[in-house]
Amino acid sequence: MGSGGAEGYPSRPVTIVVPFAAGQSGDILARILSEPLSKSWGKALIVDNKTGAGGTIGSQFVAKAAPDGYTLLLGSSGPMAIAPNLIKNAGYDPRRDFTAIMNVAGVAQALVVPANSKYKTVQDLIADAKARPGKLSYASGGNGSTQHLTMEMLKQRTGISMVHIPYKGVGAD
């Protein structure tokens, strides 16, 4: 037996559900983890992207899966803390329906502009946003995403007005 834990586990492939679009950080992390886990367990680890609704679609899927350890969720603050507070019925309760078994990563937020932008500091951006309310825009991985809420907090704390452009996910076209 490998270092997989209980005797005989896993006896078949394990699926790790990523509730976000392919190509973004959670997906990449799951794919990086899949190789050493597959090697350690001697069984395949399948990465399955089930996207949408701020991560709740994939999270709902895992919450309803058999509690046998063969369907895992790569959770994050979005579907575990944010979505259940923004969506009236997320379809799961993070405290009741999931058990955290491992912290795999910490993700920092970064505010970036093109290298040739006129903004060289956050203060430059804030000053321009104050001078031209509602004329600047910012993108995020979707409504209620950590990027969206981080920018809403910046707007609130600085008194600026910017237009939110939500995408389907960070890796989406």
Residue 148 is assigned to a structural domain of this protein: yes
CA-wise closest residue to 41 among 17, 15, 73, 63 = 15
Regarding whether 135 and 83 lie in a shared domain, the answer is: no
Residue 154 is assigned to a structural domain of this protein: yes
Regarding whether 129 and 93 lie in a shared domain, the answer is: no
pLDDT higher than threshold 70 for residue 170: no
Regarding whether 77 and 21 lie in a shared domain, the answer is: yes
Residue 77 is assigned to a structural domain of this protein: yes
Residue 4 is assigned to a structural domain of this protein: no
Residue 131 is assigned to a structural domain of this protein: yes
Q: Mind listing the pLDDT tens digit for each residue in 103-153?
A: 998 878 889 999 999 999 999 999 999 999 999 999 987 888 888 999 999
pTM score, two decimals? 0.76
Regarding whether 81 and 39 lie in a shared domain, the answer is: yes
Q: Exposed (0-12), middle (13-18) or buried (19+): which is 90, by Cβ within 10 Å? A: buried
Portion of the chain with pLDDT greater than 90, in percent: 67
pLDDT higher than threshold 60 for residue 172: no
Q: What is the CATH number of the domain that holds 55?
A: 3.40.190.150
Once rounded to an integer, what is the mean pLDDT over residues 50-69? 93
Regarding whether 87 and 155 lie in a shared domain, the answer is: no
- Give the chain's domain count: 2
Round to whole Å and give the CA distance between 139 and 137.
7
**What is the number of helices (H) and of strands (E) in the chain?**
7, 5
Regarding whether 130 and 92 lie in a shared domain, the answer is: no
Residue 18 is assigned to a structural domain of this protein: yes
Round to whole Å and give the CA distance between 171 and 173.
7
Regarding whether 90 and 39 lie in a shared domain, the answer is: yes
Task: Report the pLDDT value the prediction gives residue 169, as an integer from 0 to 100.
Answer: 60
* Containing structural domain, residue 61: 14-97
Regarding whether 143 and 88 lie in a shared domain, the answer is: no
Residue 159 is assigned to a structural domain of this protein: yes
Regarding whether 134 and 75 lie in a shared domain, the answer is: no
DSSP labels, 82-131:
IHHHHSTT-SS-HHHH-----------------TT-S--SHHHHHHHHHH
Give the count of alpha carbons within 13 A of 41, CB side only. Answer: 23
pLDDT higher than threshold 60 for residue 5: no
Round to whole Å and give the CA distance between 143 and 95.
23
Task: Report the pLDDT value the prediction gives residue 86, as an integer from 0 to 100.
Answer: 85
Residue 37 is assigned to a structural domain of this protein: yes
